[in-house]
Amino acid sequence: MDIPWWRDAVVYEIYVRSFADASGDGVGDLAGVRERLPYLAELGVDAIWLTPFYPSPMADGGYDVADYRGVDPLFGTLGDFESLVTDAHELGLKVIVDVVPNHSSSAHPWFQAALRGEHRDRYIFRDQPNNWQSTFSGPAWTKLPDGQYYLHLFAPGQPDFNWRNPEIHREFLDVLRFWLDRGVDGFRIDVAMGLYKAKGLPDVKDQSFKAVSPVWGQPEVHEVYRDWRKLLDGYPGERMAVGEVWTDSSEDLALYVRPDELHQSFNFAWLQAPWSPTAFKKVIDDTLAAVPFATWVLSNHDVVRHRTRYESADPGTGLMRAKAALLTMLALPGSAYLYQGEELGLPEVKDLPPEARQDPVFIQSKGELVGRDGCRVPLPWSADGGSLGFSPDGVAPWLPQPAGFSALSVAAQNADSASTLAFYRRALACRRELVRSIPYTLEWLDSPESALFFTRGSLICAVNCGTEPVRLPPHDGVLLPSGPLDGDLLPPDTAVWLRARS
Ligand code: GLC
């Protein structure tokens, strides 16, 4: 069997609002993405994933969709989208778009009709609410003037669809067709373990993003993905789908990637693991045992950037560990998802002024939860200028950039062969050369307790999570280190790719 493109793909997540602003309104847009496609091709990724750019009141940064078949004027036009896909394909980049099937925006014509009392069975209306909470804090129910309540597992502006109504199934199949006909190579499915709620909507004791609870992970959801898979398989080219599935176990995750369901599912266990060889090894073993096609992800638009997550009391460790984790991740079998700005080593921005914050998590919790704006700060492209090249001169970006972003800008790092950006380019180029010639299996090698050594055919990867240097395993040359080596010693917080002895 030919290896499908997505099996080993490195996919770059573009949070469109914060990538590049061509129109000059302070918000990133599709034309901005299009202009920067050569940067992404040069970086060496295989595909881009675009977060929602559909018409939206932006109650949740576009994850509240008012029209599933259009482009919000904030982001451009359908013509801009089509040109972006054409250019991306010419550069050899695949394009994945977000689909948001768990909920629409309250501005969606169907919800507007429901508010008028028409077709309320497209959403979830009740005379009495249950005890479910919104993921963004506060109750998951909002009362209408006529006395009924509607369910929203996220913001009140994101009413949950009723997937027990066949009309919703037909509608989403048609939405997928709309974008497939415009040449997209795949979909990222938002809250893929949502969609169905347990019949009778029973109260719950604990409502974390659990694999199976009355709120998430109902078995009926798999029928939806079987239908979607049939649709994708009916199109020419290898169209794919990756699910945003938060679960507690790799066995549950595996249910979503059965051969007739989704192609991939994000492996958040990797992102949640602390900087520890035992934690990393467990996630790797569990993942490879459970799923046929693994994915790995360190950061995205919903979590604290991994450079900051890995920071210890010792300043500088965060970036060293982030680079070592990247090298380790890129050596694992499967595909890797990168988040914009990690190639620059951007940290989480912690000190955003409260009045600048826009995340509904911050707003709904009245500032009790800081929310996700800190990983969504617009990218620094140039070392100077009001918005560091994000917007045209004189335009303020939608979130302020901290002073430290100038030194981390693309322009500053382009000029420095020791930069994080240069390291990412080297790692991605080296991986591209190797990845199809090494087996899709991993063998552990003996290593000191504080380190992990593994091999895949001609490649050895070693990572040192401890505080003392460790001796490298026997090898036949260094391919790429994440930081300086000390002779035959691998320093703390460093990883390396080595050529295996033949
Ligand atoms: C997903 C998105 C997140 C959004 C939520 C509701 O988790 O990644 O950004 O807030 O779904 O749509």
Q: What is the pLDDT of residues 184-194, one digit of tens each?
A: 999 999 999 99
Instruction: Check residue 205 and give its pLDDT.
Output: 86
Q: Are 278 and 466 in contact, with CB atoms under 8 Å apart?
A: no
**Smallest CA separation from ligand 1 atom 9, residue:** 302
DSSP string of 345-360, one letter each residue: TPPP-----GGG---H
Distance of CA 100 from the midpoint of ligand 1 (Å): 9
Q: Are 105 and 160 in contact, with CB atoms under 8 Å apart?
A: no
> What is the number of the ligand 1 atom nearest to the C-alpha of 136?
10
Distance of CA 409 from the midpoint of ligand 1 (Å): 27
> 90 Cβ partners below 8 Å, 6+ apart?
none
Q: Which of 190, 216, 303, 375 to mutate to test the pocket of ligand 1 (most atoms within 8 A of CB)?
A: 190
**Smallest CA separation from ligand 1 atom 12, residue:** 63
Distance of CA 488 from the midpoint of ligand 1 (Å): 45
Give residue-wise pLDDT tens across range 467-479.
999 999 999 999 9
**Nearest alpha carbon to residue 391 among 379, 405, 404:** 379
Burial of residue 342 (number of CB atoms within 10 Å: 0-12, 13-18, 19+): buried
> What is the number of the ligand 1 atom nearest to the C-alpha of 100?
12
Q: Is the pLDDT reported for residue 210 higher than 70? A: no
Instruction: Check residue 1 and give its pLDDT.
Output: 59
Distance of CA 49 from the midpoint of ligand 1 (Å): 14
Rounded to 5 degrees, what are φ and ψ at 256?
A: -80, -15
Say which residue the tokens 């033949």 belong to: 502
Rounded to 5 degrees, what are φ and ψ at 9?
A: -70, 145
Give residue-wise pLDDT tens across range 401-455.
999 999 999 999 998 999 999 999 999 999 999 999 999 999 999 999 999 999 9
Instruction: Check residue 151 and give its pLDDT.
Output: 98
Give residue-wise pLDDT tens across range 227-252.
999 999 999 999 999 999 998 888 89
Give residue-wise pLDDT tens across range 157-166.
999 999 999 9
Q: Is the pLDDT reported for residue 209 higher than 80? A: no
Give residue-wise pLDDT tens across range 108-123.
999 999 999 999 999 9
- Ligand 1 binding pocket, CB closer than 6 Å: 60, 63, 100, 154, 190-191, 244, 301-302
- Mean confidence (pLDDT) of the chain: 97
Q: Is the pLDDT reported for residue 212 higher than 80? A: no
Q: Are 499 and 474 in contact, with CB atoms under 8 Å apart?
A: no
Give residue-wise pLDDT tens across range 46-76.
999 999 999 999 999 999 999 999 999 999 9
Rounded to 5 degrees, what are φ and ψ at 219?
A: -60, -30
Distance of CA 4 from the midpoint of ligand 1 (Å): 28
Instruction: Check residue 335 and give its pLDDT.
Output: 98
Instruction: Check residue 502 and give its pLDDT.
Output: 86
**Smallest CA separation from ligand 1 atom 7, residue:** 191
> What is the number of the ligand 1 atom nearest to the C-alpha of 63?
12
Single-letter amino acid, residue 119 = H
**Nearest alpha carbon to residue 290 among 321, 250, 237:** 250
Type and span of the H or E element at 323: helix 317-331
Distance of CA 42 from the midpoint of ligand 1 (Å): 29
Q: Are 260 and 229 in contact, with CB atoms under 8 Å apart?
A: yes
Burial of residue 95 (number of CB atoms within 10 Å: 0-12, 13-18, 19+): buried
Say which residue the tokens 């390291």 belong to: 423
Catalytic positions: 190, 244
Type and span of the H or E element at 24: none
**Nearest alpha carbon to residue 477 among 444, 442, 502:** 502
Say which residue the tokens 């202009």 belong to: 35
Q: Which of 16, 63, 246 to mutate to test the pocket of ligand 1 (most atoms within 8 A of CB)?
A: 63
pTM of the entire structure?
A: 0.98
Q: Is the pLDDT reported for residue 226 higher than 70? A: yes
**Nearest alpha carbon to residue 55 among 79, 69, 75, 71:** 71
Q: Which of 16, 54, 60 to mutate to test the pocket of ligand 1 (most atoms within 8 A of CB)?
A: 60
